[in-house]
Copies of this chain bind each other. A is one copy, B any other.
């Protein structure tokens, strides 16, 4: 089984995740939907529970110790997140409700201020709806032009015409890793290409921050964002990172408490970063939980997480192909080094929804659907796919369970 010759001890790590080690009807859980949302380790759950039982208090606004300590914990989490992605300063870290809000914040605040009719925003065919719809809303509203980087036949971005697409562009916004195909994109190269034409480089890092070391400065990115709930943290909090000068120059997005330094009947003045973009009471407990998730991941080491997932990818690809040959079509790269451990596939003509339902009989949890990437689905010629995604707590046993469950699916159809 796993453990001995892998980069991290997934068998041991599993024990930290109560849902992962649970069983239903006596059958063990096989959670393969972490690209959607990850399970939470006891360390995170306990940090949240302890805070709510012992230290819950408002932050920023009150002088009493309980509140001062809550503030320190909250701001401490910000520092942890800043270090985790190698941001220059924690002033560059804005807590949002999820990655989607972060992308909307950029489109509303930076976009409405800096884009005008005819301006070009370049996206790719493998974007999540969160990196499409906010731009389409701007398109409707002010008439920007959207251009799309297409795919090659082996599920990479087709960069052959990138310079044409980027010509005159104001923004290049792309995912660091496809949540459908598993493809990992060459982020540094794409940021450099954007900057070469004076465009902003926005990296949707939802699928890579949880799975590999991140260095936004090495990327040379302008903005990035990701969600706590995909990286062992709680739901209800996302992170926007942006270069300080950019954030500094942007107008506020949501207005209200905490984001102001002055309010009079005739107008308001913004607070400093990052408060300027954190209107209202933030997800206090959740940010503290995210801080615990960062600690947890650091304890394991992101390079180890990445290595484990490369190993899982090798195993899954070899196994499924050996066992099912042409009966399974995996929509994504074959080289484990070029992908994350997220596999979308078609199997024996069984509709993904039915497949997911049947796999569920043995607690194998895979997602079926369009994975919030409808344009991509159309391009790969599927209405829906089944998707199995592996994380640090998944072992080869999980991959075997998937294969076994798939095999028995044909008993019904």
Contact = CB atoms under 8 A, between A and B. Distances in A.
Given A229-B281, A284-B235, A254 B134 contact: yes
Nearest to A353: B63
A40 B53 CA distance: 8
Contacts of A218: none
Given A236-B236, A366-B64, A100 B48 contact: no
Nearest to A262: B374
Contacts of A279: 100-101, 104, 130, 133
Interface stretch (A154-162, A264-272, A334-342): A264-272
A169 interface: no
Q: How many copies does the complex hold?
A: 2
A255 interface: yes
Contact of A62 (B229, B262, B367): B367
Contact of A281 (B39, B45, B100): B100
Nearest to A68: B360
A280 interface: yes
Interface string A351-374: 001001101100111111100101
A176 interface: no
User: Is the interface on chain A under 10, 10 to 19, 20 to 34, or 35 or more residues?
Assistant: 35 or more
A24 B65 contact: yes
A266 to B, nearest CB: 8
A52 interface: yes
A160 B42 CA distance: 58
Q: Pick from A104, A108, A263, A353 the residue with the most CB of B within 10 Å.
A: A263
Interface in A239-257: 252-257
Contact of A100 (B55, B133, B256): B256
Nearest to A230: B281
A180 interface: no
Interface in A82-122: 96-101, 103-104, 107-108
Nearest to A104: B254
B260 A133 contact: yes
A165 interface: no
Given A53-B45, A58-B36, A133 B268 contact: yes
Contacts of A62: 33, 36, 356, 365-369
Interface string A16-38: 00110010100001010100110
A237 interface: yes
A54 B135 CA distance: 38
Contacts of A139: 267
A66 interface: yes
B280 A368 contact: no
Nearest to A285: B235
Interface in A120-147: 128-130, 132-134, 136-137, 139-140, 146
B24 A235 contact: no
A282 interface: yes
8 nearest interchain CB pairs? A100-B280, A133-B255, A236-B283, A236-B236, A130-B256, A257-B372, A100-B256, A97-B97
29 contacts: A19-B57, A36-B62, A39-B56, A48-B48, A58-B367, A62-B356, A62-B366, A63-B353, A64-B356, A64-B364, A64-B365, A97-B97, A100-B257, A100-B279, A104-B256, A128-B257, A129-B263, A130-B255, A130-B256, A133-B279, A136-B255, A137-B255, A234-B236, A234-B285, A235-B282, A256-B372, A263-B375, A264-B375, A264-B378
